[in-house]
Structure formats: structure tokens, C-alpha cells
Chains A and B, each alone.
Chain A
């Protein structure tokens, strides 16, 4: 599993998010609900899931940044 590579791949599809690897679970964190709303698009979700699988993840969960993180700049790390 490679969180950095997945974050870069997601950015390439316009999904700007942090990626945290928890074993085979990728947690992608977005800055707020408006950013996350892009993932209402089923086709984009399919792309995200496929990219995650390519990078060794079996599951992907979308997290909104916690209240203390709100407004923080997001990037792959």
C-alpha cells in the first residue's frame, strides 16, 4: 500500500485529499463537505476505488477533516 502514490494519483483526477493507510484501508480526507460533494458522482467514486485497488488498498473511506483541521491546506503526504 502506498498512500503517497495514491494521493498523487487522486490529485491527477482532481481529487485533492490527504491519504492515510490503515493496513488495506485507505482513508482519504477532504477539507469540507463541499469538496467531498464531488464524490456524489458514482463514476468518480468508481475511479477512486480503482486507483486505490491499483495501489494495494482493499477499501476506501472518505473522511471530512475534523473540526480542528477545518480550513487546513490539503495535499498528499
Chain B
């Protein structure tokens, strides 16, 4: 499907993408943190990383591979219906590009009724499953340390998944060494990692209001809709929030004027309807991380 952006809109996007003001730069603090990270990793006999292919875990994978070598490091991708195919493809491509040793395992959080019920601590049940599977892999293969890509900014958010990580003795060196997201992006860019500018992409279940059951059909609706909108030309932060029959599309706030132009809006609505939503709406405030937390339970 061809993007619908006008020439003027494309020029705007190109200008924004090349703006030096938006480009993260390394500094001595970030470089010192990376040196400490290398030292931290080198002290471990062997390390397994929960690898999503996102900004944080991609950076950590590359540093860990350098510090430990391929025999002492393994990146593990946990696959489930809440993990978008596009992200899976990106993770595999990145691993191949940087020679990161990768293992793919299936996780089964969808079989846990506590997860499916979608409580506000849903992430705890998902991460409990993920870390249980990775712990089994570590024991079987003789790895002694499991790490995740949590960063220092994550410690300020509502993250029940971190509780599961602690219960499974999963360590978070990026967070513990004080790496901010901006620093990770800057160091990723310096390393030539394509993920430096990748928008954050939490799992698809995060598009469902708490209390709204996580089902395969709903996750697939969201994934189809977001994939279709990317094909239309939506760049940057994007979420299709699932409110039952209604999709609420969150776009970057500074792009709303473009997407609310009648031809673009009609194309957007058509794409999301084709993904299986009866009704389609666009959030007038634009993208906000964790916006469903504002609505509380259900919000549908």
C-alpha cells in the first residue's frame, strides 16, 4: 500500500528526522557508563539476555557480545501473540546484522487466566512466564546470569514486570548503572545500531484497557491496524488502543495536522476498519505513553 502523505508532509517528516536538535549525542557521562557496563558484564561467567530487538536490549546485546564473546552470551527472544511480527522480524534482522547469538523460545502467558483477565499488574504474569522460561534455558545451557534491558527511566514508571524480574533474580545493568533512554539512544547511534531512533514499542496487550480480556483476536486486530497505518506512512510513536468496537488511534501530536487532513483521515479510517474495527477514532491529544492508565479499568 502506498503512503498517502503529501509531498509537503514528506518534506516536513524529512526535516524533522534530520533535525540536529532531535539527534542524541554521546557525552563523557554516557561513555563512562558504558565502560562500567563492560566491566560489569566481564565479571560474569556467562549471560543470557531477554531480547526484544528494541532500543534497550539491542544496545545491551551488542555491548554484552563485545564484553563476553559469543560463547558466553546468548540473546533470547520470547515469542507470543502479544509480540508483534514486525518487531520479531526486526530483532532477527538486527541479530543477523551484528552476529548476536540468538535463541527463540515460545512463551505461554495466554494460557494463564490471570494474564488474560488483564489486571493492572498484567505485566507481572507475562514477565513471570518469560523469566521462568529463560531460567530453564539458563539452567539447561549452564548460563549463570540473566539480564534484561530495563533502563533508569523505567524505574520511575508503573512497571509490575520488574517485580517478576526481581523474583527470578534477573539483573538490570542498564538501570542499575543509571543509563537513561536518551543515553542509550546516543550510544546506540554511535555504534551504528539502527534501533537508536526506533520508537518504544511495548507489547500489544498494552493497547487494551485494564479489565478488557486479552484475546488472540483483539491482539491481531491491533497488530493488523498498526501494520496498516505504518504502511500508510505513519512514523514515530503510534498506538491503536482497543476499546471494543472502537479503535482510538494515537499519533505523534506534531503530526496530527497532517493526519487530520480529509484524504489522509479517510485513508486512516479505512485501514483501521479493514483491520476489524467497526468504529475508528483519532485521539485529539496525540500519543501519550500509558494513556490507558489515565482511564483506569476498562475505559471502554
Binding site for B on A (CB under 8 A): 22-25, 27, 32-34, 36-37, 39-42, 45, 48-49, 58-64, 66
Instruction: Chain B residues near A24: list those with CB within 8 A.
Output: 294-296, 299
Which of chain A's residues has its CB closest to B297's CB? A23
Interchain nearest-CB distance for A26 vs B (Å): 9
Which chain B residues in 264-284 approach chain A with CB under 8 Å?
Answer: 265-266, 269, 278-284
Q: How far is the CA of A34 from the CA of B259 in the complex (A)?
A: 12
**Interface class of chain B by DSSP:** mixed
A25 and B284 form a contact (CB under 8 A): no
> Which residue in B262, B281, B285, B299 is a CB contact (below 8 Å) of A34?
B262
Known: A22-B300, A61-B284. A37 touches B295 (CB 8 A): no
Give A13 Cβ to nearest chain B Cβ, in Å. 13
Would A63 and B281 be within 8 Å (CB), given that A22-B246, A58-B295 are in contact? yes
Does any Cβ of A come within 8 Å of B190's Cβ? no
| Residues of chain B whose beta carbon lies under 8 Å from any beta carbon of chain A | 243, 246, 248, 256-257, 260-263, 265-266, 269, 278-285, 291, 294-296, 298-300
Contact A27–B246 (Cβ < 8 Å): yes
**Known pairs A62-B284, A66-B278; A36 contacts B260 (CB<8 A):** yes
Cβ of A36 to closest chain B Cβ, rounded Å: 6
Partner among A22, A37, A48, A58 whose Cβ is within 8 Å of the Cβ of B284 = A48
In-complex Cβ contact of A59 among B256, B263, B294 (8 A):
B294
Please measure, in the bound complex, the distance between the C-alpha atom of A39 and the C-alpha atom of B262, giving whole angstroms: 10
In the complex, A19→B278 CA distance in Å?
17
Shortest distance from the beta carbon of B211 to any chain A beta carbon, whole Å = 11
Q: Is the CB of A49 within 8 A of B285?
A: yes
Contact B248 A25 (CB under 8 A): yes
Contacting residues, chain B, for A63 (C-beta < 8 A): 246, 279-282
Q: Are A60 and B278 in contact (CB under 8 A)?
A: no
> Which chain A residues lie closer than 8 Å to B265 at the CB level?
33, 36-37, 64
Instruction: Find out whether the CB atom of B295 lies under 8 angstroms from the CB atom of A59.
Output: yes
Residues from chain A with Cβ under 8 Å of B260 in the complex: 36-37, 39-40, 62
The answer to whether B256 touches A64, judged by C-beta atoms less than 8 angstroms apart, is no
Given the complex of chains A and B, what is the CA–CA distance between A63 and B249 in angstroms? 10
Looking across the interface, which residue of chain B has its beta carbon closest to that of A27?
B281
CB closest residue in chain A, given B258: A40
A58 to B260, CA, bound (A): 21
**A61-B248, A64-B280 known; A23 vs B299 contact (CB < 8 Å):** yes
The answer to whether A61 and B282 have CB atoms under 8 Å apart is: yes
Lowest 10 CB-CB distances: which A-B pairs, in order? A33-B262, A61-B281, A63-B281, A40-B260, A40-B257, A60-B284, A61-B248, A33-B265, A37-B262, A33-B266
